Structure 1
Amino acid sequence: MKLPIIVVASLLLFFGAGAGAQSPAREIPDFTFFTVDGNPFFSKQIPKDRASLFSFFDVTCTHCKTTMKTLGDRYADLRSVSVYLVTLDGRKEALDFVKKYGPQLINKKNVTILNDLNKEFLPKFQPQQYPSVYVYNRYRRLELYEKDERKIPYIFEKIKGL
């Protein structure tokens, strides 16, 4: 059964407005994601001696492509932080996406591509849209949240101070 366009538009507006009212997680929440190798990755595995950057992306999102490209191009500025690239998409799709748009991030010791198979990211981190980038300090507290891919270059200034 097809829904009339006005009903679909109303539902999107209703649910979209609720999502926009969310506040990003102030501290890194407990979670279980999975590496592209299929291994569980727990929040307790995050190093405590450095800042962490989480980039939430979708492989079909144009803005996510721009964000991934910026993160890859500026990898030298990310060496001092733990980088987590998180998606709801499948392992192969996620890996292909990062290889295509952020190849400089592949096989780096401080970069981990994670699949959110249990769909925990949305309720726990509360992103407002794709892409969403979070910078947490070594005490696991939020320093910066950015959802506008045009402002992603500003995160590198914040990282220098952590």
Structure 2
Amino acid sequence: MKSRLLFAVIFLFFVSVVNAQQPAALPLFTFYKLDGKPVSNINLKAGKKNLFILFDCTCEHCQRETKLLNTNYAAFKDVNIYMITLDEAYIIPKFFDSYAKGLNAKPNVTVLQDKKQIFIPTFLPSMYPAMYLYSPQGKLLAYNAGDGGIKKMLKTIKK
């Protein structure tokens, strides 16, 4: 009997997580630059759209989408891009060198680590890579999980 109750509770938890909606307003957050300095909502550059991308260095979808972002960088030059990962700092530069050389050095691109693992429970992504485009006022303009995110963000930015 206890095992059925436990199963029911676990099942309901997963159903609620799957049905959860992405935050319509930019949530409060603190992530960390590779040098350990914190970046939070108060550090966002004002007056521009903000693109948050959750990626994993070993994820093939993330590799393809990051390469596509780099190829289409000119369209994103007026957007603040925050690329967030749970990966260790040593692997991140190798990821960019392999899939999007120079993207991490662009003036509007900030690479961040999610050292406290808050991105997933705060932003509620359904898969990697997860992309969230917010207006300068912090309103969600577009969300995408998995392949096709950069194309979707391009269409939204051009509106």
How far apart are 1:130 and its partner, in Å?
0.7
Q: Is the 8 Å Cα contact of residues 88 and 116 (structure 1) preserved in structure 2? A: yes
Q: Which amino acid aligns with 1:94?
A: I
C-alpha distance 129-17 of structure 1, shift in aligned 2 (>3 A): farther
* Residue matched to 2:137: 139
* Distance in 2 between residues matched to 1:97 and 1:69, nearest whole Å: 10
- Please, which runs of 5 or more residues in structure 1 have no aligned partner? 1-9
SS of the residue aligned with 2:105? coil
How far apart are 1:148 and its partner, in Å?
3.0
C-alpha distance 79-18 of structure 1, shift in aligned 2 (>3 A): same
* Distance in 2 between residues matched to 1:134 and 1:41, nearest whole Å: 17
Match 1:71 to one of 69, 72, 91? 69
Aligned-pair identity in percent equals 32
Q: Is the 8 Å Cα contact of residues 36 and 95 (structure 1) preserved in structure 2? A: no
How far apart are 1:17 and its partner, in Å?
4.8
Query: What TM-score do the two structures reach when normalised by structure 1?
Result: 0.85
* Distance in 1 between residues matched to 2:16 and 2:128, nearest whole Å: 15
* Distance in 2 between residues matched to 1:97 and 1:17, nearest whole Å: 33
Q: RMSD in angstroms over aligned alpha carbons?
A: 1.9
Deviations 1:75-118 (A, max 9, x none): 11110100000011111212221222122412111000000001
Task: Say whether residues 1:157 and 2:155 are aligned partners.
Answer: yes
SS of the residue aligned with 2:53? strand
SS of the residue aligned with 2:111? strand
How far apart are 1:25 and its partner, in Å?
1.5
* Residue matched to 1:84: 82
Query: What TM-score do the two structures reach when normalised by structure 2?
Result: 0.86
Q: Aligned residues, how many?
A: 150
SS of the residue aligned with 1:82? strand
SS of the residue aligned with 1:56? strand
Q: Which amino acid aligns with 1:75?
A: Y
Moved over 4 A (4+): 13-18
